[in-house]
């Protein structure tokens, strides 16, 4: 564990030491024009996040760091071969989370290999950004800049929302809240800046929702299988069949979507229990937070307070409330109309 904390501290310090003020980079004649333009977009997004979404007004995203690599960290996820309960790792400050992050890819691979020998299903994901929860002034990273403007905006909204609220040992709650804030914030951003793109974004979210439902259905089939008294050999064989059937279902499903929307990259990597647990961690409670947003009439400050109230409940009662909210799931188009009506007032 000491070695892990050492690489974490060194990686974070290296990231901070390379920071350059965005305003200075924009003013510098030697800064490439493409980078200047993108950093100006970041400034606009950050201002919007403060003025319209009431996200924290601090020094986060006032600086830029070029790490000269495609990801800032590589996260390792793991789950037992016949279980959908994610392995957790516990740390100072943040508590227990369902992943372990490394600033060097090879370190992540080494740890993943060790977990493989312990009969875990393991996966590694490159991560473009993360939040230090306000402990440091998070910079914009080169790893964040290859996306479309509204995806960049959503990423910034996601990471800043972690600074609004973070509950120790509750990865699924934290990530679903931030994912919901990301989606609703992106809709508000598009309605303000590029209203013609809202329909395409809704198409993407609709496809994402169907993708999520496919994962949930497959996960439920696997959970049923794992609960049986079948032999490990039989479970292994059936597990393979269930995952292969999901791949075929996906090929049929994506034919219904616009041609520029797919989740092919998710299927390009080996699929195992850790892939299900890591993906669903971000998605499972999202519908509950969307409903909660509607119930406060799309008022951001009231939404944050309602989420805080939820976070203060005991686990059993909180999960009960989340399930109740999820049962009243609303369409993203209703969120659009809600935000339009509020903006018109």
Contacts of residue 153, defined as CB under 8 A and 6 or more positions apart, other chains included, come to 45, 48, 185, 186, 189
Q: Flag whether 310 is in a domain.
A: yes
Q: Flag whether 307 is in a domain.
A: yes
pLDDT confidence bin for 344, thresholds 50/70/90: confident
For residues 276 and 218, is the Cβ–Cβ distance under 8 A?
A: yes
pLDDT at position 282, please?
79
CA distance 64 to 59: 11
| Alpha-carbon torsion (124, 126, 129, 134), positive or negative | positive
Contacts of residue 59, defined as CB under 8 A and 6 or more positions apart, other chains included, come to 137
φ, ψ of residue 141 to 5 degrees: the values are -115, 150
Q: Flag whether 253 is in a domain.
A: yes
Q: Flag whether 84 is in a domain.
A: no
Q: Tokens for 324?
A: 């109740």
Number of domains in the chain: 1
Q: Tokens for 66?
A: 């070029």
Domain that holds residue 201: 196-344
Residues of the chain with pLDDT > 90, as a percent, come to: 88
Q: Flag whether 42 is in a domain.
A: no
Q: Flag whether 68 is in a domain.
A: no
For residues 51 and 239, is the Cβ–Cβ distance under 8 A?
A: no
- Locate the DSSP E strands across 177-219: none
CA distance 298 to 294: 5
Q: Flag whether 94 is in a domain.
A: no
Q: Flag whether 83 is in a domain.
A: no
- 3-state class of 140 per DSSP? strand
This prediction's pTM: 0.93
What's the pLDDT tens digit per position in 271-313? 999 999 998 877 889 999 999 999 999 999 999 999 999 999 9
**Cα atoms in the 13 Å half-sphere on the side-chain side of 94:** 20
- Give the count of beta carbons closer than 10 Å to the beta carbon of residue 229: 6
pLDDT confidence bin for 95, thresholds 50/70/90: confident
Contacts of residue 234, defined as CB under 8 A and 6 or more positions apart, other chains included, come to none
CA distance 197 to 232: 49
- Straight-line distance from the first to the last Cα atom of the chain, in angstroms, rounded to the nearest whole number: 54
Nearest to 292 by CA among 333, 324, 336: 324
At 139, which helix (H) or strand (E)?
A: none
């Amino acid at each position: 564990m000491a070695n892990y904390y050492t690489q974490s501290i060194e990686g974070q310090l290296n990231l901070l030491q390379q920071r350059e003020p965005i305003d200075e980079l924009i003013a510098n004649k030697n800064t490439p024009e493409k980078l200047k333009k993108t950093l100006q977009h970041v400034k606009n997004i950050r201002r919007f996040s403060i003025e319209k979404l009431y996200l924290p007004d601090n020094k986060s995203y006032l600086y830029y760091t070029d790490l000269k690599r495609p990801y800032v960290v590589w996260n390792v996820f793991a789950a037992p071969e016949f279980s959908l309960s994610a392995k957790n790792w516990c740390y100072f400050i943040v508590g227990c989370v369902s992943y372990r992050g490394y600033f060097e890819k090879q370190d992540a691979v080494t740890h993943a290999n060790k977990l493989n020998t312990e009969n875990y299903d393991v996966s590694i994901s490159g991560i473009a950004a993360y939040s230090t929860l306000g402990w440091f002034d998070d910079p914009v990273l080169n790893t964040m800049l290859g996306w479309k403007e509204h995806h960049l905006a959503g990423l910034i909204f996601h990471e800043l929302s972690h600074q609004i609220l973070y509950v120790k040992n509750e990865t699924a709650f934290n990530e679903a809240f931030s994912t919901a804030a990301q989606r609703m914030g992106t809709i508000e951003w598009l309605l303000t800046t590029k209203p013609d793109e809202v329909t395409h974004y809704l198409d993407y979210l609709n496809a994402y929702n169907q993708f999520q439902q496919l994962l949930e259905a497959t996960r439920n089939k696997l959970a049923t299988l794992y609960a049986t008294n079948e032999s490990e050999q039989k479970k292994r064989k059936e597990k393979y069949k269930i995952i292969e059937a999901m791949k075929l279902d996906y090929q049929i499903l994506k034919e219904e979507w616009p041609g520029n929307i797919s989740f092919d990259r998710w299927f390009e990597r080996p699929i195992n229990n850790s892939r299900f647990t890591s993906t669903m961690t971000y998605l499972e409670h999202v519908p509950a937070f969307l409903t909660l947003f509607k119930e406060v009439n799309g008022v951001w400050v009231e939404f944050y307070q309602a989420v805080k109230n939820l976070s203060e409940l005991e686990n059993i009662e909180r999960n009960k409330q989340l399930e109740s909210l999820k049962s009243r799931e609303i369409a993203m188009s209703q969120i659009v109309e809600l935000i339009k009506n509020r903006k018109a007032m």
